[in-house]
Amino acid sequence: MEKENILKIEDEAMSEISQAKNPQEIETIRVKYLGRQGVLTEILKSIKDLPLEEKKIIGPMANSLRNELEEKIEEQKNKVSKKTSWERIDITQPGEKIRTGHLHPLTIVRQEIEEIFSSMGFSVIEGPEAENDFYNFEGLNMPPNHPARDMHDTFWLKAETNDRRPKNKKMLLRTHTSPVQVRYMEKNKPPIRIICPGKVFRYEDIDAGHEIQFHHLEGLMVDKDISFSNFKSVLQSFFEKFFSKNISLRIRPSYFPFVEPGFEMDVTCPRCYKKNKKECPLCSSTGWIEMGGAGMVHPKVFEMSGVDSSDWQGFAFGFGLDRITMVKYNIPDIRLFYSGDLRFIRQFY
């Protein structure tokens, strides 16, 4: 009889405890079963009066039920108690690193270049990305149907410009940052020392070295008696500071309609400089990397921008910002810059 009674108490007590919703309800149940006059306490008290055979069975059963109920009560108390979040924090655990935002590698390099040129007296000037035909082509000595336009695979826009000069009224996404020199010379008299960084667009096949949207950095210096040696000296100083090592600059003759003479600039490959050139994937083992174009400003460009070329001379240059960043950090593929892949971006903290 006592045995069935204990099993019944066990069923009821366990079910009541697991349904209790707050510490007060749990306490009421505890008192009901385990309090001084609790149901189980009364049974425990009466064990001493039982016959020996029954004592042997009921004693351990009642004692073990008391332990079980105490455990179950503790468990339920933890479940329903509303601990604040800081009470649940294990302060012995190592902290989690908080990630902060940071600059994109192209922005880091752009700022670095701007600082170097600023230290040489150049100002940073920006221009519009949606340009008209005059500034992107005509004003740079590329009238309509000029064959050099073929070198720039152009994204034409549907909009038309209201600028009265271009014979071709169409607008386009600028294919280089050279239009900014024309805009600047129209409004500012020499002497001029500017750099013009920014996005440019070309309708080209995309591969490891080419994108349809990339960045150029243009430079223009106009003053009295400016010669090719000034150009070479400014660029040589820039490349040495930028790559923080002894870099040689190589100038090759080339053609751009807005300069005369025109050049192409190469720098010694920073990866295999003074090492074994045979195994360098960056410069295809030539030891030189093409950085961009340059030249002495064409008298026609001066004329169209309102600058008297008999008084003033100047040089201009333009290189790929993406390209120079790839060389500096040994980045094998231009597409990584625009991939949004955090594993790549996070290397530039």
Stretch that binds ligand FA5, among 43-51, 113-121, 317-325, 337-345 (CB under 6 A): 317-325
- Dist. CA 124–CA 110, nearest whole Å: 11
CB closer to ligand FA5, 122 vs 214: 214
Q: Give the tokens for residue 181.
A: 């020199």
Binding marks (x or -) toward ligand FA5, 267..296, rule CB under 6 A? -----------------------x-xxxx-
Q: Other C-beta atoms within 10 Å of 139: how many?
A: 25
Tell me which residues in 321-340 interact with ligand FA5 (CB under 6 A).
322-323, 334
- Dist. CA 268–CA 240, nearest whole Å: 11
CA 132 to chain centre: 31
Could you tell me which of 236, 251, 221 has the C-alpha nearest to residue 313? 221
- Minimum CB separation of residue 143 from ligand FA5 in Å reads 17
CB closer to ligand FA5, 136 vs 161: 136
- Dist. CA 9–CA 39, nearest whole Å: 8
105 belongs to the binding site for ligand FA5 (CB under 6 A): no
202 belongs to the binding site for ligand FA5 (CB under 6 A): yes
CB closer to ligand FA5, 38 vs 270: 270
176 belongs to the binding site for ligand FA5 (CB under 6 A): yes
- Minimum CB separation of residue 316 from ligand FA5 in Å reads 4
**Residue 182 and residue 143 in contact, taking contact as beta carbons nearer than 8 Å:** no
Half-sphere exposure in the Cβ direction for 328 (13 Å, CA): 20
211 belongs to the binding site for ligand FA5 (CB under 6 A): yes
CA 65 to chain centre: 63
CB closer to ligand FA5, 148 vs 345: 148
204 belongs to the binding site for ligand FA5 (CB under 6 A): yes
174 belongs to the binding site for ligand FA5 (CB under 6 A): no
234 belongs to the binding site for ligand FA5 (CB under 6 A): no
Residue count, binding to ligand FA5 (CB under 6 A)? 24
Rounded to the nearest 5°, which phi and psi values hold at 115? -65, -45
Residue type, 241: K
- Minimum CB separation of residue 124 from ligand FA5 in Å reads 16
- Minimum CB separation of residue 114 from ligand FA5 in Å reads 17
- Minimum CB separation of residue 336 from ligand FA5 in Å reads 13
One-character DSSP codes across 216-283: EEEEEEEETT--HHHHHHHHHHHHHHHHTS---EEEEEE--TTEEEEEEEEEE-TTTTTS-GGG-TTT
259 belongs to the binding site for ligand FA5 (CB under 6 A): yes
- Dist. CA 31–CA 64, nearest whole Å: 18
256 belongs to the binding site for ligand FA5 (CB under 6 A): yes
Q: Which residues bind ligand FA5 (CB under 6 A)?
A: 176, 178, 202, 204, 210-211, 214, 216, 218, 256, 259, 290, 292-295, 316-320, 322-323, 334
